Structure 1
C-alpha cells in the first residue's frame, strides 16, 4: 500500500485505513483520472497507511475500472472501493435503482481485472411515508 512503513504502535490499530477518499464528490468533484492519480499518490505517500477506500458512485464504477487499468500493476492492487449507490434517482423506483447499481457492483471485479474490490456499499434510503410512521 504505502512505500513508507506505518507506525508500529496503537495508532495503527486505531487509524489504519481510516480516511476514505471522496475526491469524486463535492467539494472537490475531481475528474476520474485526477481522482485515481491522487489516490495512488496518497497511497504511496508518508501517510498512505491512513488511506481507506476509494469512494465511487455506482454509475461510475466502469469508468473507475478503465482508469485503474491505465496504472498497470504497480498501484498496490486490489484497491478497496466503497460503492455509493446512486441509481435510485434515475430509475422508475428506488428498488429498481438499487438493483441496477448492485449489478454494476457485481461486475466491478471483472471489469477492473481484479484491480478493485468493492468492500462497502452505501445507499440513501427512500424518504419515509409520513402516514406510515
Structure 2
C-alpha cells in the first residue's frame, strides 16, 4: 500500500511541476509575444482556469506528501519526504502571499479596464512564479530521491 501511495504522490506532484513549468517557460512567453490585447486576454483566461484548479492540486499534493511521511516514517527516505512537504508548504505560502493577489486582479481585467501597469504586474507574477517553480521542482526531486 505504501508503494502505491509513493507512486501516486510522485506522479501527481510531477504532473503539477510539469504544468507549472509549462506555464513559466512555454505559455507565458507565447502570451507575451502576442499583441497587448491578446496577451492580456490569454493571461486573464489562464488565471481564471488555472486559478480554479491549482489550489486543489497544491493542497492535494501536500496532503499526499503528509500521508506518505506519516505512513513511511519507519522507512528509508522519510526525511526527504518531510523536507519535500516543507517545500510544498513554502510554495503554498508563496502562492497565497505573492501570486494569488496578482492573479485575482489579473483574471478580471479586460482590454477596457486593465490598469496602466498591467504588464509590470504580470512581470512581477512571472518572477514569483519562477521561484515557485524552483521550489516545487526541488520538492519533486526529493520525492523521487526518497523512492530510490
Q: Structure 2 length as normaliser, TM-score? A: 0.25
Q: Structure 1 length as normaliser, TM-score? A: 0.27
Q: Considering fraction of residues, name the structure with more strand.
A: 1
Q: Considering fraction of residues, name the structure with more helix.
A: 2
